[in-house]
């Protein structure tokens, strides 16, 4: 009976779509003489709950009722457009960047929010705009989330200086990272890959909580983070950025683009950073941050033929990164693999090439086909004391997708196929592993939108994997809006799977004398089963007018339940074991948030998060170590409004990290580490539309973990360990920089 009722509703909506008057059109970005389709632009009727968003080609359709008079189209960083006529024919809407205002006088009535949560999408998506990335010392992707409560930032270890991000209580391997919807940080890229994307290259970041879309793959468990890079047609002709921090880090970014014709443009990105000063603020004899240098080059090409419906991207990226870790007195030329001083080196060489081609059918603009391909190689040679770790990782990715409608634009679908190859050649000490993974997948995703207050996405994919086998990945996302989109409810559920790269994902444990215990180390999957988990989520957004100010409240509740998990067990001092889950494992998170813009000058954000993360170890079910029980977050930002685009910008960010469980050592039992507070701030002076300088500080309360390196005086002893880090090591850090663009 219930199934028949659902079929009846589906047919009713399907037929009703033809009886409605639909307003449709395209939304473009104007850049000189070129028009570029804008995906994700908000399209809605004024004083109504009816709205939608544009697709990959900038296309939209929305139901038109007699009472609907004004159509509003908005997009982050662009001027909002209002349309009150011409609804009988397809619309062509050109959005102008807010930066294109007259330089003589700037009048702002209401600023756009550089950190936005999606309103009309069934998925729980937060978009970080390029302006948001300027509010912190954002030198690379791993440092891009300090002012965003959706992502947690932890400290990986006491050696490499890398920051590890988490979502919904799970570490980065359980997040699907994509760069312009092409999988990026997989396999051997997990630990340091976030530091290989400079912040100045980033145009925007989309954070999806919960299971992501099946079109991007089956590996998303806790969420997806997609990074959009600056496009050749829209990037500034010239951009220069210089940065210097008190810990000795110097960074330079040079970016330029050339418009070759109305259809072709290219851009070149050059990045270099260096840290040559040895620092040991906690006087344990070990470097607080590694000596490091990196050179990173990216060349992109873009082709657009809007009349014929073609768009394409071609990119080449090459990187060289070197780090020296360990004791201050360590000299690689003298002490490598010796027993006098403990140290190590990590050398990474990486290259990749990507190609994206899209075609929109001119006569049927709701139809499109896209093809993506990427080839890359990641080579890392490293040693940690006397422990060797070398890995070569080659990946091939091919993706074909077709999207259209079923009857009318209320019913849309995407279908396609994907082929991926991952080749690993890895060595740790005397253990050598060669892995060859091949996967062929096909997917189908159906979207329904009643054009008023309800929409859903149903997706499924079938994959044939040479080691996992054949399996199906289902996912569903629902959205329902009330009170003219002032109350938004979302539900989601989905499954994800992945093959764990236990050495690359846990390199922090290599900086210790722990013995490695693996089920079957010389097999392609180390004798371990693939990880498998379900993610369930609920999200509620409530918009209110409080004291004449718009306030947005949010509640996110998510639970990840593992069917199988590769347990990383370091509860026994002097050892680390990897084995399949025998029992239960879950990660549950609750987040309460509020945000508001007080007039045109002040922005405020607040969030509280609570985590319940447990895993069954051989010694019993326990809370996962180094996972705070609670987190508090607050952000206060100020931006002045002056003539000639001269501005002052200031912001303060506060984090309160709760208690974390520490594992037992040879001398102390497992215990709880005390919570601590982090305070950071930045001040920016915009002298003109082209030039600004900034000064900031991180960890202003000077929080420093004194025992970050255990048994530091005896680094070759059995108790030496650098992996039990729960708070900053360096202490208070100041930085300064400048930005110049044309």
Cβ atoms within 10 Å, residue 270: 15
Domain final residue pick, 73, 100, 127: 100
* Token code pair at residue 371: 């093809």
Report residue 11's pLDDT band, with 50, 70 and 90 as the boundaries.
very low
Q: CA 703, CA 707: separation in Å to the nearest integer?
A: 12
Contact 630, 600 (CB under 8 A): no
**Whole-number pLDDT of residue 113:** 67
Collapsing DSSP to helix, strand or coil, 553 comes out as strand
Report if residue 239 sits inside a domain. yes
Which of 5-9, 276-280, 375-379, 439-443 is least confident? 5-9
CA 187 to centroid of chain Cα atoms: 16
Q: What pTM did the predictor assign?
A: 0.89
The secondary element (H helix, E strand) that includes residue 455 is strand 454-465
Residue 48 banded pLDDT, cuts 50, 70, 90:
confident
- Confidence grade of residue 30 (pLDDT, cut at 50, 70, 90): low
pLDDT band at 193 (very low <50, low <70, confident <90, very high): confident
Is 667 part of any domain? yes
CB 449 within 8 A of CB 457: no
For residue 64 the two structure tokens come to 């038109």
Residue at 108 is within a domain: no
Rounded distance, CA 348 to CA 350, Å?
Answer: 6
Classify residue 529 by its DSSP letter: P
Q: Looking at residue 168, what is its pLDDT?
A: 95
Task: Give the 3-state secondary structure of residue 357.
Answer: strand
Residue 52: which of 30, 74, 28 has the closest Cα? 74
The three-state secondary structure class of 15 is helix
Check residue 601 and give its pLDDT.
87
Question: What are the distances in angstroms from CA 334 to CA 12, 51, 384, 623, 714?
Answer: 78, 67, 15, 43, 19
Instruction: Look at residue 255 and tell me whether its pLDDT is greater than 80.
Output: yes
Nearest CA to 76 among 33, 116, 132, 124? Answer: 116
Query: Taking 70 as the threshold, does the pLDDT of residue 714 lie above it?
Result: yes
State residue 73's pLDDT score.
Answer: 92
Are residues 216 and 94 both part of a single domain?
A: no
**197-221: buried (b, 16+ CB within 10 Å) or exposed (e) per residue?**
bbbbbbbbbbbbbbbbbbbbbbbbb
- End-to-end, the C-alpha distance of the chain in Å comes to 65
Within a domain: residue 110?
A: no
Is residue 24 located within the same domain as residue 122?
Answer: no
> For residue 351, what are its two tokens?
């290259």
The residue ranking higher by pLDDT, 734 or 364, is 734
In a domain, 26, yes or no: yes
Tens of pLDDT, residue by residue over 684-700, are 999 988 899 999 999 99
In the predicted model, what is the mean pLDDT of residues 589-593?
Answer: 97
User: What per-residue string of b and e applies to 543-572 under the rule 16 or more CB within 10 Å gives b?
Assistant: beeeeeeebbbbebebbbebebbbbbbbbb
How large is the average pLDDT for residues 400-408?
A: 93
Same domain, 81 and 132: no
Q: Compute the distance between CA of residue 104 and CA of residue 481 in angstroms, rounded to an integer.
A: 42
Cα–chain-centroid distance for residue 80? 27
Instruction: Give me 243's structure tokens.
Output: 């940065």
The mean pLDDT value for 553-575 works out to: 95
Asked if residue 632 and residue 485 are part of one domain, the reply reads yes
Q: How far apart are CA 730 and CA 241, in angstroms?
A: 24
pLDDT above 50 (res 621): yes
**Residue 630: CA atoms inside 13 Å, Cβ hemisphere, count?**
10
Q: What is the pLDDT, as a whole number, of residue 7? A: 41
Does 33 or 484 have the greater pLDDT score? 484
Q: Are residues 576 and 660 in the same domain?
A: yes
Q: Under DSSP, is residue 134 helix (H, G, I), strand (E, B) or coil?
A: coil
Quick check: 542 pLDDT over 70?
A: yes
Sign of CA dihedral 150, 155, 161, 164: negative
pLDDT, tens digit (0-9, with 9 covering 90-100), for 263-307? 999 999 999 999 998 888 888 899 988 999 999 999 999 999 877
The yes-or-no verdict on residue 123 having pLDDT over 80 is yes
**What is the number of structural domains in the chain?**
2
Q: pLDDT band at 13, cuts 50/70/90?
A: very low
Instruction: State the DSSP string of 178-192.
Output: EETTEE-S-GGGTTT
Is 111 a member of any domain?
no
CA distances to 156, 203, 266, 304, 597 from 230, rounded to whole Å, are: 29, 5, 11, 15, 27
CATH at 208: 2.40.170.20
Same domain, 533 and 412: yes
Q: Cβ–Cβ contacts within 10 Å for residue 447, how many?
A: 22
The answer for residues whose C-beta is within 8 angstroms of residue 179's C-beta and 6 or more apart is 197, 226, 227, 229, 354
Q: Specify the pLDDT at position 672.
A: 93
Q: Tokens 């629902």 correspond to what residue?
A: 478
| Residue whose tokens read 């680094």 | 715
Range of the domain at 501: 116-741
Of residues 677 and 156, more confidence is placed in: 677
Average pLDDT value for residue range 489-501? 95
How many residues comprise the chain? 742
Half-sphere exposure of 468 (CA within 13 A, CB side): 24
Q: Is residue 106 part of a domain?
A: no
Domain endpoint, select from 53, 75, 100 = 100
Statement: residue 114 has pLDDT above 80: no
Alpha helices in 223-355 (DSSP H): 332-335
> What pLDDT, on a 0 to 100 scale, did the predictor assign at position 22?
77
Domain boundary among 49, 76, 100: 100
* Residues 470, 464: Cα–Cα separation, whole Å: 4
Tell me, yes or no, whether 705 and 563 share the same domain. Answer: yes
Average pLDDT over residues 401-410: 91
Does residue 530 surpass a pLDDT of 80? yes
What local confidence, expressed as pLDDT, does residue 110 receive? 42
Res 12: pLDDT: 38
Residues 186 and 55 in one domain: no
Query: Which CATH number characterizes residue 73's domain?
Result: 2.60.40.1120
∠ CA 165-552-148, rounded to 5°: 15
Q: Is the pLDDT of residue 20 over 50?
A: no
> Do 15 and 164 belong to one domain?
no
For 209-241, what is the HEC assignment? Answer: ECCCCHHHCCCCCCEEEEEEECCCCCCCCEEEE
pLDDT in tens, 698-709: 999 999 988 889
Lowest mean pLDDT, pick from 44-58, 138-152, 210-224: 44-58
Give residue-wise pLDDT tens across range 228-248: 999 998 888 999 999 999 888
What token pair was written down for 721?
């360990």
Residue 489's DSSP bridge partners are 480, 540
- For the residues 178-206, what does the mean pLDDT come to? 89
| Mean pLDDT for the chain overall | 88
Report how far residue 509's alpha carbon sits from residue 282's, in angstroms, rounded to the nearest whole number.
21
Residues 571 and 663 in one domain: yes
Q: Which residue has the tokens 């190609």?
A: 355
CA separation, residue 450 to residues 7, 63, 480, 483 (Å) = 15, 9, 10, 16
Could you tell me the CA-to-CA distances from 117 to 121, 123, 128, 488, 526 in Å, in that order?
Answer: 9, 10, 9, 11, 41
Mean pLDDT of 204-216: 93
Distance, CA of 532 to CA of 188 (rounded, Å): 20
What secondary structure letter does DSSP report for 541? E
**Nearest-5° Cα angle at 294, 290 to 295:** 175
Distances (CA, A) of 416 to 197, 340, 353, 441: 29, 58, 22, 9
pLDDT given for residue 594 in this prediction: 96
Higher-confidence position of 103 and 629: 629
Which pLDDT belongs to residue 481? Answer: 93
357-371, 516-530, 586-600: least confidently modelled range:
516-530
pLDDT at residue number 98? 60
Q: Is 511 a domain residue? A: yes
Q: Which of 318-332, 486-500, 709-723 has the lowest mean pLDDT?
A: 709-723
Of 2-11, 149-158, 267-276, 603-612, the poorest mean pLDDT is in 2-11
pLDDT, residue 181, reads: 92
Q: Is the same domain home to 200 and 148?
A: yes
Please tell me the predicted confidence (pLDDT) of residue 362. 79
**Do 210 and 350 fall within a single domain?**
yes
């Amino acid at each position: 009976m219930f199934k028949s009722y659902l079929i009846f509703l589906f047919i009713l909506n399907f037929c009703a779509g033809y009886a409605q008057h639909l307003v449709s059109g395209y939304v473009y970005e104007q850049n000189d003489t070129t028009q570029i389709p804008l995906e994700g632009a908000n399209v809605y009727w004024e004083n109504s709950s009816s709205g939608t968003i544009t697709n990959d080609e900038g296309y939209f359709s929305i139901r038109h009722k007699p009472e609907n008079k004004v159509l509003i189209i908005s997009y982050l960083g662009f001027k909002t457009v209002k349309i009150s006529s011409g609804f009988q024919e397809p619309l062509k809407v050109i959005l102008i960047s807010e930066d294109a205002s007259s330089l003589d006088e700037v009048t702002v009535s209401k600023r756009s929010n550089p950190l936005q949560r999606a309103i009309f999408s069934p998925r729980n998506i937060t978009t970080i705009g390029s302006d948001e990335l300027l509010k912190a010392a954002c030198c690379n992707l791993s440092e891009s989330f300090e002012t965003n409560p959706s992502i947690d930032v932890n400290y990986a270890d006491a050696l490499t200086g890398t920051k590890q991000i988490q979502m919904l209580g799970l570490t980065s391997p359980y997040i699907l990272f994509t760069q312009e919807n092409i999988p990026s940080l997989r396999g051997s890229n997990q630990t340091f890959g976030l530091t290989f994307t400079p912040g100045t290259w980033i145009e925007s970041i989309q954070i999806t909580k919960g299971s992501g879309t099946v079109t991007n793959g089956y590996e998303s468990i806790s969420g997806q983070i997609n990074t959009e890079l600056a496009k050749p047609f829209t990037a500034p002709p010239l951009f220069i950025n210089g940065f210097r921090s008190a810990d000795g880090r110097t960074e330079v970014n040079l970016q330029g683009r050339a418009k070759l014709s109305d259809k072709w443009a290219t851009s070149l990105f050059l990045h270099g950073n260096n840290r040559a000063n040895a620092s040991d603020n906690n006087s344990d004899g070990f470097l607080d941050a590694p000596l490091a240098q990196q050179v990173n080059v990216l060349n992109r090409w873009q082709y657009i033929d809007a009349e014929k419906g073609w768009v394409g991207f071609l990119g080449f990226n090459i990187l060289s990164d070197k780090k020296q870790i360990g004791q201050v007195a360590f000299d690689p030329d003298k002490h490598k693999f010796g027993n006098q001083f403990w140290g190590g080196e990590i050398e990474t060489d990486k290259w990749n090439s990507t190609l994206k081609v899209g075609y929109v059918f001119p006569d049927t603009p709701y139809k499109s086909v896209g093809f993506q391909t990427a080839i890359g190689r990641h080579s890392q040679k490293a040693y940690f004391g006397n422990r060797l770790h070398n890995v070569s990782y080659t990946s091939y990715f091919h993706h074909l997708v077709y999207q259209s409608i079923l009857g009318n634009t209320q019913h849309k679908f995407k279908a396609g196929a994907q082929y991926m190859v991952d080749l690993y050649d890895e060595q740790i000490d005397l253990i050598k592993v060669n892995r060859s993974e091949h996967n062929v997948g096909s997917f189908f995703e159906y979207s329904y939108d009643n054009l008023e207050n309800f929409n859903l996405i149903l997706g499924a994919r079938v994959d044939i994997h040479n080691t996992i086998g054949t399996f199906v990945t289902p996912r569903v996302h629902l959205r329902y809006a009330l009170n003219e989109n002032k109350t938004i409810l979302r539900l989601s559920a989905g499954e994800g799977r992945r093959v764990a790269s236990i050495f690359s994902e846990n390199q922090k444990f290599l900086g210790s004398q722990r013995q490695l215990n693996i089920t079957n180390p010389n097999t392609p999957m180390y004798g371990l089963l693939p990880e498998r988990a379900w993610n369930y989520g609920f999200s509620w957004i409530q918009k209110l007018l409080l004291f004449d100010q718009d306030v947005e409240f949010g509640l996110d509740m998510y639970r990840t339940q593992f069917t199988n998990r590769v347990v990383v067990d370091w509860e026994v001092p002097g050892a680390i074991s990897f084995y399949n889950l025998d029992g239960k494992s879950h990660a549950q998170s609750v987040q309460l948030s509020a945000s508001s813009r007080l007039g045109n000058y002040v922005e405020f954000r607040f969030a509280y998060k609570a985590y319940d993360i447990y895993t069954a170890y051989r010694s019993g079910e326990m809370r996962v170590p180094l996972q705070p029980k609670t987190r508090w977050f607050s952000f206060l930002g100020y931006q002045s409004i002056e003539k000639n685009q001269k501005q002052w910008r200031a912001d303060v960010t506060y984090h309160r990290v709760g208690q974390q469980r520490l594992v037992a050592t040879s001398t102390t039992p497992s215990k709880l580490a005390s919570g601590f507070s982090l305070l950071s701030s930045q001040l920016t002076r915009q002298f003109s539309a082209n030039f600004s300088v900034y000064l900031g500080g991180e960890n202003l309360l000077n929080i420093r973990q004194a025992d970050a390196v255990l048994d530091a005086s005896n680094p070759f002893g059995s108790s030496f360990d650098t992996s039990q880090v729960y708070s900053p090591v360096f202490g208070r850090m100041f930085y300064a920089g400048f930005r110049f663009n044309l």
